Amino acid sequence: MSRAAMKRAVRESVSGLPRAFWWLWLSTLVNRLGAFVATFMALYLTLDRGYSASYAGLVVALHGLGGVVSSIGAGVMTDRLGRRPTLLVAQSSTAASVALLGFMHHPVAIAAVAFLVGATSSASRPAVQAMVADIVRPEDRVRALSLNYWAINLGFAISSMAAGFIAEYSYLAGFLIEAGMTLVCAIVVFAKLPESRPVRTEKEKAAGEVSLGTVLRDGRFMAMVGLFFLVALIFQQGMVGLPVAMGQAGFAPADYGMAIAINGVLIVVLQIPVTRFLEHRDAGRLLVVSSLLTGYGFGLTAFAGSVGVIALTVCVWSLAEIVIAPTQIGLVVRLSPLHGRGRYQGVYASAWPVASLVAPLMAGGIIDGFGPQWLWGTCAVVGTVAGLGYWVLMRRLPEEEPSARRPEAGTSKPLPEQAA
């Protein structure tokens, strides 16, 4: 591709999105640039504080459990209080709890505050995704969600490298830097982002509130959440099963680091070009194919005897991740009623932290009981089941809502969805 063609592709990928989306995108990028706790929690507890690996694992699990609880609670807040207040509460409380964690010494206090950090840091997700659905036209949502996912991975890639150097100097500095950058995100939200929650009409008020029970009784949606949980369970093996299997096979930690780094690099490099390919493709086919790529990408690890071959398997499931992440979130929007987007996004967002709790048990039990090859074979089977499930689920998907021109952020004119 020529340089002119590349410039045109990038321009087409980022053009036409409202100004409010880019402020939200910037807030997401800054947030991920400051990521430190989730990446270095285990090393901080074992190397700096001198705790056992078992205690570190418990704290990391509590951090994930906090994310499970808050994802659902934040979804309710997003619908009741609004997107902007939820973001402000989540980001300001994350900044405070992260800074507090850096000064905790007692093991019980560390565990409690780690749970709080996991809860507050995950509370932004339903609000961010609901706000994107509110302010971006339906035909642009996959592109917008892809760009937001690209910001998450770009920020994470940069912060992971920077955090390693910061940790060598001071872990406390890392906690304080993350707290400061999260506070900057809250300031951006406060100064630049208007509330986007659609105003309920009298007819919609009479129809009643969309409750959490409404979400849980939505069979099609809960089936989709279950399928995403299966896919997330496979993806988690990149952080859980893969390093353990490589260690047992005699590979050095640096070999794993080099292989897994390909995942972040590919997402940063390919997310925008692939976005243009995804934008007008059938979501059902994309989800089926990406689920199969995920399962068999990890399944091929059973035949990998060198770092180079492992790197190739990482390329396969990384491509699946690039496709499935924005497509899946777009599907959540399509299955969510207008005034229940926060609750629906919250229940959906809880699938990933639940998978992060189950994946270590799955990996440890299968590797210890049967060997790594059985783990990778299981991943292939789970990916196949998820692909078949998506194929059945998407056969009668409701039509996408019609497009409507939306005003720029900061104007007083209501969105078409907000007009009575």
Cα(132)–Cα(330) distance, rounded to whole angstroms? 10
Nearest Cα neighbor of 301 from 356, 383, 360 is: 383
Residue showing tokens 């986007």:
196
Q: Is residue 375 part of a domain?
A: yes
Q: Are 312 and 50 in contact (CB under 8 A)?
A: no
pLDDT at 13: 66
Are residue 183 and residue 284 in the same domain, yes or no?
A: no
pLDDT at 376: 93
Q: 285 or 247: whose pLDDT is higher?
A: 285
Does residue 216 surpass a pLDDT of 90?
no
Q: Is residue 155 part of a domain?
A: yes
Segments forming the whole domain that contains residue 392 = 215-396
Cα(126)–Cα(131) distance, rounded to whole angstroms? 8
Cα(326)–Cα(279) distance, rounded to whole angstroms? 10
Does residue 412 surpass a pLDDT of 80?
no
Are residue 172 and residue 271 in the same domain, yes or no?
A: no
Does residue 220 surpass a pLDDT of 90?
no
Query: Does pTM surpass 0.95?
Result: no
Position 417 confidence tier, pLDDT thresholds 50, 70, 90 = very low
What is the rounded average pLDDT of the residues 367-380?
A: 90
Are residue 262 and residue 169 in the same domain, yes or no?
A: no
pLDDT at 34: 67
Position 152 confidence tier, pLDDT thresholds 50, 70, 90 = confident
pLDDT tens column, 62-100: 887 888 888 888 888 888 888 899 999 999 999 999 999
Query: Which long-range contacts link 44-52 to residues 24+ away (Cβ below 8 Å)?
Result: 44/167, 44/171, 45/110, 48/171, 49/105, 49/110, 51/107
**Structure tokens that stand for 244 in this block:** 């353990």
**Structure tokens that stand for 285 in this block:** 């086919």
Q: How far is CA 61 from CA 38, 55, 229, 299, in A?
A: 11, 10, 17, 26
Q: How far is CA 127 from CA 21, 123, 134, 282, 345, in A?
A: 13, 8, 10, 26, 8
Does residue 377 surpass a pLDDT of 90?
yes
pLDDT at 416: 34
Cα(374)–Cα(288) distance, rounded to whole angstroms? 23
Position 27 confidence tier, pLDDT thresholds 50, 70, 90 = confident
What is the rounded average pLDDT of the residues 226-251?
A: 86
Does residue 264 surpass a pLDDT of 90?
no
Position 378 confidence tier, pLDDT thresholds 50, 70, 90 = very high
Q: Are 36 and 178 in contact (CB under 8 A)?
A: yes
pLDDT at 203: 55
Are residue 191 and residue 73 in the same domain, yes or no?
A: yes
Cα(406)–Cα(417) distance, rounded to whole angstroms? 9
Number of domains comprising the chain: 2
Q: Is residue 406 part of a domain?
A: no
Q: Is residue 125 part of a domain?
A: yes
Are residue 351 and residue 260 in the same domain, yes or no?
A: yes
> Rounded to an integer, what is the distance from CA 1 to the centroid of its chain?
31
Are residue 182 and residue 251 in the same domain, yes or no?
A: no
Burial class (CB in 10 A: 0-12, 13-18, 19+), 364: middle
Position 301 confidence tier, pLDDT thresholds 50, 70, 90 = very high
Show which of 163, 196, 229 is a domain's final residue. Answer: 196
Are residue 291 and residue 171 in the same domain, yes or no?
A: no
Are residue 162 and residue 282 in the same domain, yes or no?
A: no
Are residue 289 and residue 167 in the same domain, yes or no?
A: no
Show which of 162, 196, 230 is a domain's final residue. Answer: 196
In 131-270, at which residue ranges do the beta strands (DSSP E only) sit?
Answer: none
Q: Are 356 and 236 in contact (CB under 8 A)?
A: yes
Q: Is residue 408 part of a domain?
A: no
Q: Are 359 and 298 in contact (CB under 8 A)?
A: no
Does residue 383 surpass a pLDDT of 90?
yes
Are residue 248 and residue 180 in the same domain, yes or no?
A: no
**Lowest-confidence region among 134-138, 155-159, 228-232:** 155-159
Q: Are 34 and 182 in contact (CB under 8 A)?
A: yes
The CA dihedral of 134, 140, 145, 151, to the nearest 10 degrees, is -110
Cα(287)–Cα(292) distance, rounded to whole angstroms? 9
CATH of the domain at 32: 1.20.1250.20
Cα(100)–Cα(110) distance, rounded to whole angstroms? 9
Does residue 418 surpass a pLDDT of 50?
no
Are residue 230 and residue 160 in the same domain, yes or no?
A: no
Does residue 210 surpass a pLDDT of 80?
no
Are residue 316 and residue 188 in the same domain, yes or no?
A: no
pLDDT at 9: 60
What mean pLDDT value characterizes the chain? Answer: 80
Residue showing tokens 């020529």:
2
Q: Is residue 1 part of a domain?
A: no
Nearest Cα neighbor of 302 from 258, 241, 253 is: 241
Nearest Cα neighbor of 120 from 149, 100, 146, 147 is: 100
pLDDT at 403: 45
Q: Is residue 407 part of a domain?
A: no
Does residue 309 surpass a pLDDT of 70?
yes
Show which of 168, 196, 224 is a domain's final residue. Answer: 196
Question: What percent of the chain is predicted at pLDDT more than 90?
Answer: 19
Does residue 310 surpass a pLDDT of 50?
yes
Q: Is residue 35 part of a domain?
A: yes
* Concatenated DSSP letters of 76-141: HHHHHT-HHHHHHHHHHHHHHHHHHHTT--SHHHHHHHHHHHHHHHHTHHHHHHHHHHHHS-GGGH
49 contacts: CB under 8 Å, gap ≥ 6: 105, 110
Cα(258)–Cα(251) distance, rounded to whole angstroms? 11
**Lowest-confidence region among 22-36, 229-243, 251-265:** 251-265
Position 406 confidence tier, pLDDT thresholds 50, 70, 90 = very low
Q: Are 293 and 316 in contact (CB under 8 A)?
A: yes
Q: 289 or 305: whose pLDDT is higher?
A: 289
What is the rounded average pLDDT of the residues 194-213?
A: 67
